[in-house]
Structure 1
């Protein structure tokens, strides 16, 4: 039996989760459990399931979540004044999804981008102009959708945000405080760019190899040739990052192996996307590393090859942007 959570008195932030997939629903559950008012923007199956049975989180935590509303169209929320927006769609959907939110009341609401990969926040800023205060965040949570309205939590870890301007500080501080109250690491990170690149390099090393071979993360390390190729792929990205002036406190190759070992039984998200008939985020991971490599004069043959191979798999399977 899950813990029922939702509104606790009249306090709490009014938060819109734009992109109520696995990650968005997990954050909705965690924040609702701390007394915030959650609104979900998602696809029809999710909306219908939540309207009928509420949102259920299972796995490492068990929550039955009551939300204020679940809708398909942001125009249905045009009378709502939100304190905070969490943008949790896929990287390739972020700019379009953010643009659709301009029907909401103006007021430079903090909009936090929690996507994988590089360059997402720049695309979102171009799409919305000055209407929102766009900020980059990095999430190390893990979850997948078992069925509409039911999300299984597989990882509870840190949430890091770039330092906001003063006007955006109060709601973001309150949100991070709520995650901390749940026992999770949550903080502002002055050097968020380093965190974004570090996670991207890990994803670049693990995800495409798992997607192409169909192997679990741990199995990739058991094949010497794959282990070597993973290291070389990450090293390419490391060189690009160095050329851009980004320094890491940890060795990215060792970190990639460590993450693969810690998630040994997992099938990575890129493989799951291909299996489910969804477009992958390869353009924002290995593809982005290759683009930055071209701009900085750093050769990235492995990242370019992996991008082409995954794009080929997408084309062969006629995947859709869902």
Structure 2
């Protein structure tokens, strides 16, 4: 279920003194959860961008398959505003866990690393799910055109999005250029070559996926910004429709 659906039964126990930590892929879950609360009773929202390799082995059971890092921070807090004590305690507890290799970041940098992770997920996850391959196979020459098209669309959407938020400077524009994002995706594919993406695991297990919060966000925001997002729209529909392809057959 979505985060909002999962939290709905707990609403009587949550208040402005609560802290909710989001660790899922994509963008949009925080807004859906925030809509469950009145303005005066919003909890504190933290988000963690996790690059560790993890795969499920059953209910409440997972294997830590690849060591990487974790970045955690407030979703939207002024640099001059302190976190409430409960949120600070949760943050410090996670930061103190050595195996997590966690780093605290501010809200602006959290947005940037969230968007970078989104691009990696928007390429690797749907392609591994559609073609039923591990991450490293996304670098197969037969997928080069698709991979680059997904990156290019996401890059244009993100640059337009950050420009609209008035947080786009020259350094950030370069950070989200198609060339740099493409190199980042390739590095992730190499570093996690033997891993099976969370989206591939979900479709193989017959579960719902996070594609609506990943490629779905690219498509929705792209339409709002007047950006062409046809390739992301195609893979979004294929994953949601449970379509499968063989490498070399195209979409």
Task: Indicate the TM-score class for this superposition, using the shorter chain for normalisation.
Answer: 0.7 to 0.9
Q: Which of 201, 210, 213 is the equivalent residue of 1:281? A: 210
The answer for unaligned runs of 5 or more in structure 2 is 163-167, 244-251
* CA shift digits 1:172-197 (9 cap, x unpaired): 44223322x44713212342111111
1:184 equivalent to 2:101? Answer: yes
| Structure 2: distance between partners of 1:249 and 1:161 | 20
The answer for unaligned runs of 5 or more in structure 1 is 1-91, 315-322
Partner of 1:96: 5
Paired residues of 1:176 and 1:187 also in contact (CA < 8 A): no
* RMSD (Å), alpha carbons: 2.1
Q: Which of 180, 194, 205 is the equivalent residue of 2:112? A: 194
Structure 1 residue 228 displacement after superposition: 2.2
Structure 1 residue 127 displacement after superposition: 1.6
Partner of 2:127: 209
Q: How many residues align?
A: 221
1:300 equivalent to 2:226? Answer: no
Paired residues of 2:2 and 2:29 also in contact (CA < 8 A): no
Task: Describe the shift of the 1:117–1:216 C-alpha distance in structure 2 as closer, same or farther (beyond 3 A).
Answer: same
Normalising by the residue count of structure 2, what TM-score does the alignment of the two structures yield?
Answer: 0.80
Structure with larger RCO (C-alpha < 8 A, sep 6+): 2
Partner of 1:134: 45
- Which one has the largest radius of gyration? 1
**3-state secondary structure, aligned to 1:128:** coil
| Structure 2: distance between partners of 1:214 and 1:183 | 29
| Structure 1: distance between partners of 2:54 and 2:72 | 20
**3-state secondary structure, aligned to 2:26:** coil
Paired residues of 2:126 and 2:199 also in contact (CA < 8 A): yes
Paired residues of 1:176 and 1:186 also in contact (CA < 8 A): no
Partner of 1:65: none
Task: Describe the shift of the 1:262–1:294 C-alpha distance in structure 2 as closer, same or farther (beyond 3 A).
Answer: same
Structure 1 residue 271 displacement after superposition: 1.2
| Structure 1: distance between partners of 2:7 and 2:182 | 34
Partner of 2:57: 146
Structure 1 residue 218 displacement after superposition: 1.1
Higher strand share: 1
Superposition map of 1:1-322 within 5 A: 93-104=2-13, 106-129=15-38, 130-163=41-74, 164=77, 165-168=81-84, 170-179=88-97, 181-182=98-99, 184-191=101-108, 192-222=110-140, 224-245=141-162, 247=172, 249=175, 251-313=180-242
**3-state secondary structure, aligned to 1:313:** coil
Paired residues of 1:99 and 1:128 also in contact (CA < 8 A): no
Paired residues of 2:55 and 2:198 also in contact (CA < 8 A): no
Higher helix share: 2
| Structure 2: distance between partners of 1:232 and 1:219 | 17
